[in-house]
Amino acid sequence: MKWLKVPILMLILFLANVFGAEYIVRVDSMVLGRVRTSFGKNGWVSVSELEYGEKYIVETRTVYAASGVLAHYEAIFRTRGEVVAKIVGTRRQGTTNVTLYAYNDSSRPAVKTFAFDNPEIFIVDNNFVIPHFEMLLKNPRPVYQILIPQALFDPSKTEKASGTATLKRDNQGRFIFSYEGVEIRITVDKDGIVRMEYSNGIVVERVKK
């Protein structure tokens, strides 16, 4: 299999094509929520509105370096209109620092910071943040070192928050992204990601304009 790096100008043109995309998240016929993405001077913004018993809104902003890896990342989690958690990630001199804020007490959030020394670690948000996957697919390689920052909130999942993921293509031209026993089959067109099928039954599909 041949893996090619995409020139940064082509990458920018590709990202502009998916400006303003919207996706539906569902299991079978049950809609779990929607994801809206946009791209502007402050980077990628993705807003996930999801229903798991109660409504959660997750807003992320991600800025990428020319190489396609993270430069800056922020995620804000809201329920019932209140901020319940925040994540801030930055990369400096090859180290990615991730700080978690848990607002159990709004006046004094609990704060934890983690450092990851791998200079090529990619963030893959687990709230269906489409731009993170767009960046992976525009710089495809068979193996990635990834970080799922939300998993750091749970001490029992911290070890699996970072690790090695794989990417390949099937005979239908779909990308297959795999990590820790979970597979995501990703269909793309000229405008970017069309559909993501998770092995746990969740489907994320772009809304036709």
Average pLDDT of the chain to the nearest whole number: 86
* pLDDT(147) > 80: yes
Q: Which two tokens stand for residue 72?
A: 């800056």
What is the model's pLDDT at position 106? 66
For 187-207, the pLDDT digits (tens) are 999 889 999 999 999 999 999
% of the chain residues with pLDDT over 70: 90
What is the model's pLDDT at position 29? 87
For 43-73, the pLDDT digits (tens) are 899 999 998 778 999 999 999 887 777 899 9
Which has the minimum average pLDDT: 1-15, 121-135, 136-150?
Answer: 1-15
- The pTM of the full predicted model, rounded to 2 decimals, is 0.83
What sign results for the dihedral spanned by CA atoms 4, 5, 7, 11? positive
* pLDDT(16) > 50: no
End-to-end CA distance of the chain: 34
SS (H, E, C) 22-52: EEEEEECCEEEEEEEEEEECCEEEEEEEEEE
For 151-179, the pLDDT digits (tens) are 999 988 888 899 999 999 999 889 999 99
